[in-house]
Amino acid sequence: MAKGAEFEELDVTRDHQALEDLIEVHQSRMTPTIVIDEKVIIGFDRDQLEELL
């Protein structure tokens, strides 16, 4: 847990379904892609993460 938030880390280089979800569900081809509730953050944005956590 980070900042008290549970998270799941997926390795899109080893998990084909995770890669498909990244592309199909989250419309992303970049990592990190972070999903908090329904909000998708593509790339690392510390300010946005702080706001959402």
Range of the structural domain that residue 23 is part of: 1-53
Q: Tokens in use for 30? A: 């970049």
For residue 2, pLDDT beyond 70: no
pLDDT score of 3 = 74
Question: Is residue 46 pLDDT above 80, yes or no?
Answer: yes
pLDDT digits (tens, 9 = 90+) for 13-30: 999 999 999 999 999 999
Number of domains in the chain: 1
CATH code of the domain covering residue 35: 3.40.30.10
Structure confidence at residue 6 as a pLDDT band (50, 70, 90):
confident
Q: How far apart (Å, rounded) are the C-alpha atoms in residues 43 and 23?
A: 14
Q: Contact, 18 vs 10, CB < 8 A?
A: yes
pTM: 0.77
What confidence tier does 40 reach under pLDDT thresholds 50, 70, 90?
Answer: very high
